[in-house]
Amino acid sequence: MYSATIYGIDGILVTVEADISDGLPSFDMVGVLSSEVKEAKERVRTALKNAGFRIPPKRVTVNLSPADLRKSGSGFDLPIAISILCALGLIPAESLKSRMFCGELGLDGRLCAVSGILPAAFAAREKELSGIAVPIDNLPEAQAVEGIQATGLRTLKEAVDWLNHPEQLGEQSTVPAAEKQEETEWDFCDIAGQAAVKRAAEIAAAGMHNLLCVGPPGTGKTMAAKRLPGILPLMDEAEMLEVTKIYSVRGLLDQGAPLMKKRPFRAPHHTISAAALTGGGSVPKPGEISLAHRGVLFLDELPEFSRTALESLRQPLEDRELTVARVRRVCHFPADFLFCAAMNPCKCGYYPDRSQCRCSDGSVRNYRGRISRPLLDRLDLIVEVPKLTYEEWKSGEQAESSAKIRARVEAACQIQRIRFRGMPIRFNSQMSGRQVKQFCPLGEKEEWFMEQIFQKMGMSPRHYDRILKVARTAADLEGEERIREEHLSEAVFYRSMAEKYWRGEEEYG
Amino acid sequence: MDDRLYWHWLCSMENLNPVKKTRLLRLYPSPEQLYNIEEKQLYALDFLTDREKKLFSDSRNEEKEFRKTYEQMERQGIRLITLSDQEYPNRLLHIYGPPCGLYVKGRLPAPREKSAALVGARGCSSYGRDMARRTGKELAAAGIQIISGMAAGIDGAAQWGALETGSSFAVLGCGVDRCYPVSNFPLYEKLEAEGGLLSEFPPGSKPLPWHFPQRNRLISGLSDLVVVIEARKRSGSLITAAYALDQGKDVFALPGPVTAPLSEGCNQLIKNGAGLLSSPEDILEILTPRWKKPLKKRKEIENGLVFNEKKVYSCLDYHARSLEELVEKTGLTVKETAQALVRLEIQGLARRAGLSRYTATTD
């Protein structure tokens, strides 16, 4: 009989077997167990007793194999209990063959939900097991995996009855999940004015480009970021499963809503440690970066994050995957997200408005300097979100709704989907250098324009590709086949800010 | 002991103020005599306090110390120009409390050339920074030497501007062997090569707070005219302006919005009768009588632009305008405005003065 442990975000099959032999009464479990698995012993013994089964005063040995793999998670209670009952002859052995069991036992024998059911079910399907039995609360999650028979159980007693008489299965549904594909309450039409940041957000969403908003407090940086998931294209089935798997491992799934249908939006506080961001622990669990997979990772007050936390973003931003190495094993977490950050231009937040800001130039430079150059180089769009005057704020006509923006974004994504058919990428921002050459050809006029940009604006060549990618998205948003000068200039506009500004060179022009 | 060493000794006594030093020199014309006066004579000097007398006699015991610094100074190429030297700037002889000596790296301002001081706030706006640079550049182009304090903000911008077309001199509030603020090191090096660094404080002196007001009298003293670019209500630049008035020099101030705290000091000066700086020509007219006015051709420039660019360009001025404002004013989309700005920047007509803020170029 099988169960599964989770490593990283993948389930690994674990065989559970029990033996009852003569000798002094004892209950031993072997197989490199973490403390929560070791404690299963007490839960199982009590649960068995309370469910009406007596463990004879004999020597009980439970083995979880492979023996060299560390097992963690609370899902082993059920398989251990069942294997003991099988050893006692209360359950026919053949009914357990090629079946997976996961579940935590309460002392009264009821089954409690556990995390990581989805990856376990995936592992079961991969190994071509015939079925998976889980606590009833986890059933919707297990059912999300097609091609494997999922059974939901309420108590240990029910499990035993079912294994003996497969036809007597209890009611197989929980409280019907309200099919809530609720419209997001964050809508771009709530933001008055701020055309620049809206435009930047649209480009960012259409091509999954990274975005940095700079501006004084209270101008709508956070508002804009929160509305980003609402204009991203809807996830397809495969993406939903990927995301759900990660949330399943962390036990963050909503009861009754087995699939994550909305793109995730993660906004960790700036006191977060690097390990919490990337994922960690001796058996690594996914961190905020992975939880934002296929969605938006929003870091508000970017300069306030610790240096190590910020630098840990560099690899995932580049590779769209995160590697956490531990002594025993190396884990790969998916980390394909839209990175959005917000920051104030200086400590007090009002620079360059000198009527409110009295920060010295040195302090302003110092504040900006907390964002390292390599991280800055990975940002595609940098946009200023200025303070609006009362008139500007008041006069703004009804702004565009997120739905309208999303329609344009969806269209641009459709173009990209066709462009990258048969390739492992979906968005313009993910193109490699070679693909940029292939998909972003420039005409003569545009080449000349880029040359001018580099000569006159002190742009560094390493941003060439980044600019082309953004320009490609800008063109896609208009359904244009070719990148034209207007697209390039817009991309340059959002990128060139970083060049002079960040080193404080504006002083001398 | 060499005569110059005695001068160095006199200049090194930082805690004795320059006015008292000149009084001493009036009694004992050479520092050597001064050095060798007896305790009895020293105590007879009633204008010195007891503390100063003690300081005076103590400093004579540190001969080894200032001999060492003097030799070190010579190795670093720092010269000491004293009151007895031919080279000593004539302009300083006419101020109250002239320094006994000036430590110089690079050149001294040429005595026959006109010079103007450009001073202002350290934390300045992009408007002030632009105007400082532009004024420094245009005045220097007309052969006027720009004197300033090499501070962050206005001072630095004015001197960078001046060095583009001419020469500039900095009077420091610390020893000339030190660069304060450190962020201005590129400027410091350029000033040494193409202008001069001056200080009345001996090499090795720290930039102590009380040095700066004292140094300001030299900035105005070395100039024929003082221009205040941006100053808050209480600002060191206003001290310089006050010195200038005491020394009988013209003061100009750059006006700013009445709501801007950074222009409060300037506007106050204008209210009190300072000259109003509307363009560098205002100063050239005073300093160089034969100055002829070239006309700015904003209209001509506009004629060469395409529609959107013209629209955006017409909204640009010397105050930094954000993309947001420009979109609002021109009624163009973000995309069109960004495109126009990038094109204007390529053509050298607009300049980025912040994240997404632009000004018209000033030259």
Tell me if B229 is assigned to some domain: yes
Using the CB atoms, write b or e for B201-233: b if 16+ within 10 Å: bbbebebeeebbebbbbbbbbbbbbbbbbbbbe
Q: Does the pLDDT value for residue A501 go beyond 70?
A: no
Angle at B94 between CA B91 and CA B98, to 5 degrees: 90
Smallest Cβ–Cβ distance between B123 and the set A354, A384, A506 belongs to A354
Tell me if B109 is assigned to some domain: no
Residues A413-437, mean pLDDT to the nearest whole number: 91
Using the CB atoms, write b or e for A9-25: b if 16+ within 10 Å: bbbebbebbbeeeeeee
Element spanning A490, H or E: helix A485-502
Query: Is residue A354 less than 8 Å (CB to CB) from chain B?
Result: yes
Same-domain status, B269 and B341: no
Tell me if B84 is assigned to some domain: no
Task: Name the band, by pLDDT with cuts 50, 70 and 90, for residue A507.
Answer: very low
Q: How much is the pLDDT for A378?
A: 87
For residue B162, the chain A residue with the least C-alpha distance is A508
Q: How much is the pLDDT for A305?
A: 94
Q: DSSP secondary-structure letter at A397? A: P
Q: How much is the pLDDT for B295?
A: 43
Contact B124 A354 (CB under 8 A): yes
Contact B335 A359 (CB under 8 A): no
Smallest Cβ–Cβ distance between A384 and the set B124, B322, B351 belongs to B322
Tell me if B85 is assigned to some domain: no
Tell me if B208 is assigned to some domain: yes
Q: How much is the pLDDT for A459?
A: 72
Tell me if B174 is assigned to some domain: yes
Query: Over chain B, what HEC string results?
Result: CCHHHHHHHHHHCCCCCHHHHHHHHHHCCCHHHHHCCCHHHHHHCCCCCHHHHHHHHHHHCCHHHHHHHHHHHHHCCCEEEECCCCCCCHHHHCCCCCCCEEEEEECCCCCCCCEEEEECCCCCCHHHHHHHHHHHHHHHHCCCEEEECCCCCHHHHHHHHHHHHCCEEEECCCCCCCCCCHHHHHHHHHHHHHCEEEECCCCCCCCCCCHHHHHHHHHHHCCCEEEECCCCCCCHHHHHHHHHHHCCCEEEECCCCCCCHHHHHHHHHHHCCCEECCCHHHHHHHHCCCCCCCCCCHHHHHHCCCHHHHHHHHHCCCCCEEHHHHHHHHCCCHHHHHHHHHHHHHCCCEEECCCCEEEECCC
Point out the residues of chain B with pLDDT beneath 50. Answer: 295-296
Whether pTM exceeds 0.90: no
Element spanning A152, H or E: strand A149-153
A162-171, A250-259, A323-332, A412-421: which has the highest mean pLDDT?
A412-421
Same-domain status, B53 and B143: no
- CATH numbers and ranges of domains, chain A: 2-164 (3.30.230.10), 195-427 (3.40.50.300), 431-509 (1.10.8)
Q: Say how many domains are in chain B.
A: 3
* Residue B88 neighbours by CB under 8 Å, 6+ apart: B81, B82, B102
Nearest-angstrom CA–CA distance, B17 and B47: 12
Same-domain status, B70 and B139: no
pLDDT tens across A328-357, in order?
778 889 999 999 999 998 898 888 777 788
CA separation, residue B330 to residues A202, A489, A494, B318 (Å) = 22, 18, 19, 17
CB A467 within 8 A of CB A491: yes
**Structural domain ending residue among the three candidates B75, B101, B129:** B75
Q: How much is the pLDDT for A206?
A: 94
Of A407, A469, A411, A478, nearest to A436 by C-alpha is A469
Angle at B352 between CA A317 and CA A373, to 5 degrees: 25
Residues of chain B in contact with residue A195, where contact means CB-CB under 8 angstroms, are 324, 327, 333-334
A355 φ, ψ (degrees, to nearest 5):
-80, -20
Q: Does the pLDDT value for residue A191 go beyond 60?
A: yes
Nearest-angstrom CA–CA distance, A161 and A155: 10
Q: How much is the pLDDT for A397?
A: 64
Query: Over A65-84, what HEC string results?
Result: ECCCCCECCCCCHHHHHHHH
Tokens of A282: 């001796």
Contact B183 A392 (CB under 8 A): no
Same-domain status, B189 and B168: yes
Query: Is residue A372 less than 8 Å (CB to CB) from chain B?
Result: no
Task: Name the band, by pLDDT with cuts 50, 70 and 90, for residue A508.
Answer: very low
Same-domain status, B227 and B302: no
Tokens of B259: 């709501």
Tell me if B107 is assigned to some domain: no
Q: Is the dihedral of CA A467, A472, A475, A477 positive or negative?
A: negative
Query: Is residue A383 less than 8 Å (CB to CB) from chain B?
Result: yes
Smallest Cβ–Cβ distance between A360 and the set B122, B323, B327 belongs to B122
Instruction: Looking at the complex, report in whole angstroms how far the Cα of residue A243 sits from the nearest Cα belonging to chain B.
Output: 34
Find the domain containing B158 and state its range.
115-287
Q: How much is the pLDDT for A211?
A: 94
Kindly report the average pLDDT of chain A as a whole number.
87
Of all residues in chain A, the percent with pLDDT exceeding 70 is 94
Tell me if B88 is assigned to some domain: no
Contact A382 B355 (CB under 8 A): yes
Residues of chain B in contact with residue A497, where contact means CB-CB under 8 angstroms, are 352, 355-356
Same-domain status, B308 and B274: no
Same-domain status, B123 and B189: yes
A vs B, Cβ pairs < 8 A, gives 120
Element spanning A496, H or E: helix A485-502
CATH code for position B348: 1.10.10.10
Smallest Cβ–Cβ distance between B323 and the set A360, A361, A384 belongs to A384
Element spanning A316, H or E: helix A314-319
Residue type for B354, please? G
Interface test with A, best of B355, B361, B362, B363 (most A CBs within 10 A): B355
Same-domain status, B128 and B215: yes
Instruction: Detail the DSSP E strand segments found in A197-255.
Output: 211-214
**Structural domain ending residue among the three candidates B43, B75, B107:** B75
Element spanning A446, H or E: helix A444-457
Same-domain status, B305 and B215: no
Same-domain status, B6 and B71: yes
Residues A477-506, mean pLDDT to the nearest whole number: 79
Residues of chain A in contact with residue B133, where contact means CB-CB under 8 angstroms, are 508-509
Higher local confidence (pLDDT), A23 or A258:
A23
Contact B262 A196 (CB under 8 A): no
Tell which phi-psi region holds residue B152, choosing left (phi > 0), alpha (psi between -120 and 50) or beta. Answer: beta
Place of tokens 């500007």: A392
Smallest Cβ–Cβ distance between A497 and the set B129, B346, B355 belongs to B355
Q: How much is the pLDDT for A364?
A: 85
Residues of chain A in contact with residue B131, where contact means CB-CB under 8 angstroms, are none
Residues A240-254, mean pLDDT to the nearest whole number: 88
Contact A508 B133 (CB under 8 A): yes
Instruction: Looking at the complex, report in whole angstroms how far the Cα of residue A174 sits from the nearest Cα belonging to chain B.
Output: 51
Q: Does the pLDDT value for residue A56 go beyond 70?
A: yes
Of B182, B201, B228, B214, nearest to B78 by C-alpha is B201
Nearest-angstrom CA–CA distance, B222 and B213: 15
Contact A453 B346 (CB under 8 A): yes
Query: Is residue B164 less than 8 Å (CB to CB) from chain A?
Result: no
Nearest-angstrom CA–CA distance, A197 and B355: 13
Q: How much is the pLDDT for A143?
A: 87
Nearest-angstrom CA–CA distance, A490 and A380: 12
DSSP string, A335-359: ---EEEEEE-SSSSS-TT-TTT---
Residues A294-322, mean pLDDT to the nearest whole number: 92
Of B336, B360, B338, nearest to B349 by C-alpha is B360
Query: Is residue A352 less than 8 Å (CB to CB) from chain B?
Result: yes
Same-domain status, B164 and B276: yes
Query: Is residue B258 less than 8 Å (CB to CB) from chain A?
Result: no
A356 φ, ψ (degrees, to nearest 5):
-115, -25
Interface test with A, best of B159, B233, B335 (most A CBs within 10 A): B335
Of B59, B71, B69, B80, nearest to B15 by C-alpha is B59
**Does the model's ipTM exceed the 0.90 cut?**
no
Q: DSSP secondary-structure letter at A489? A: H
Q: How much is the pLDDT for A259?
A: 82
Same-domain status, B312 and B253: no
Q: How much is the pLDDT for A509?
A: 31
CB A190 within 8 A of CB A223: yes
Task: Name the band, by pLDDT with cuts 50, 70 and 90, for residue A498.
Answer: low
Q: How much is the pLDDT for B344?
A: 87
Query: Is residue A355 less than 8 Å (CB to CB) from chain B?
Result: yes
CATH code for position B241: 3.40.50.450
**Structural domain ending residue among the three candidates B47, B75, B103:** B75
Query: Is residue B159 less than 8 Å (CB to CB) from chain A?
Result: no
